[in-house]
Amino acid sequence: MRQSLVILASIFLWQAAQAQDQSVINEPNSGLWIGVYNKLRMTKKIYYYSETHLRFRNSLDNNMSFVGRMGQIYNRHGVNFLFNKHFEFTIGPTLVFNYTPEPGNPDFEKVVLEPRVWHQWLFIMPYMGRVKLYHQFRFEHRFKRDNNVGAPFQYTDRYRYKIFAYIPLNKPTLGNKTLFIAPSAEIFLHSGKSIVANPMEDFRVYTGLGYILNNNVTFFGGHMWTLGQGRNPAGFQYGQNHIIRLNVFLTFDLRKRTKRIDEIRLTD
């Protein structure tokens, strides 16, 4: 896990160093993300998957207020195919509501829609002692536009890799009534006609604390630090964010009771 985090950080720093006249914004912004994750088991190998996120950001006059403006609403859906206990694939649509960065400013539309298609490959490693390790590859095909009045839609592709782990604290493995910690790191690349310089879009480090109530409900929350590109089209300007994330995972088996298998499957 440590080696993978070092590799991701090194890639990000190397890529940033290639940019000329690069400036990193030292003053961070903040936000609060609230998410609900759902997995409904339809058959032995197929789940229905969905996520809904409310993402708030700081007020214009206080960068560390965490909640001051609506940032985005995410609606991500998909069909999840479970090939085996170590590999699964998900594909589906996403609809994002992007809210104005300056409420009340007539130069910006209050909200614009951003449709996407996404697919994901998740590799679940066997337990390494108490640690359960995941490798997540996610690809997003986005039709997005700025909130500026009259801004055109632009097509971009996003490529994401995340390594994360679940480490039980009060039990040897994950199960009911388990308290766990989950560190993760994720790197984002993007491409498209509007990406004129730097393909590195974002880098996130997220550590959370979770509690598995039972096979159906898990609570999870923590702090995420991000370093990513701002709105500078040259791609050389970066900004930091401190995000508080609060999530709940809901998993239900819709099959007949005789076909159910008690298990807990977590993703993020």
Q: For residue range 207-245, what is the model confidence (pLDDT) as tens digits? A: 999 999 999 999 999 999 999 876 555 556 788 999 999
pLDDT at res. 128: 81
What average pLDDT does the segment 20-44 reach?
83
For residue 258, give every residue at least 6 positions away whose Cβ sits within 8 Å of its Cβ, in sequence order, or none: none
pLDDT above 90 covers what percent of the chain?
72
pLDDT band at 256 (very low <50, low <70, confident <90, very high): confident
Q: 154 has which bridge partners? A: 144
Q: For residue range 135-184, what is the model confidence (pLDDT) as tens digits? A: 999 999 999 999 999 999 999 999 999 999 999 999 999 999 999 999 99
pLDDT at res. 34: 98
What average pLDDT does the segment 63-89 reach?
96
For residue 184, with 0-12 CB atoms within 10 Å meaning exposed, 13-18 middle and 19 or more buried, which class applies? buried
pLDDT at res. 24: 55
pLDDT band at 35 (very low <50, low <70, confident <90, very high): very high
pLDDT at res. 229: 78
CA atoms within 13 A on the CB side of 204: 22
Q: Is 6 helix (H, G, I), strand (E, B) or coil?
A: helix
For residue 20, give every residue at least 6 positions away whose Cβ sits within 8 Å of its Cβ, in sequence order, or none: 236
Buried b (16+ CB within 10 A) or exposed e, 153-179: eeebebebbbbbbbbbeeeeebeeebe
Q: Are strands 29-41 and 217-229 parallel, antiparallel or unpaired?
A: unpaired
Phi/psi of residue 7, nearest 5 degrees: -65, -45
Please check the confidence at residue 20 and state whether its pLDDT lies above 50.
no
Q: For residue range 105-137, what is the model confidence (pLDDT) as tens digits? A: 999 999 999 999 999 999 999 878 889 999 999
pLDDT band at 265 (very low <50, low <70, confident <90, very high): low
Lowest mean pLDDT among 16-20, 40-44, 119-123: 16-20
Which of 245, 185, 262 has its CA nearest to residue 210? 245
pLDDT band at 19 (very low <50, low <70, confident <90, very high): very low
Largest CA distance in the chain: 64
pLDDT at res. 237: 73
CB of 140 closer than 8 Å to CB of 117: yes
Q: What is the mean pLDDT of the chain?
A: 88
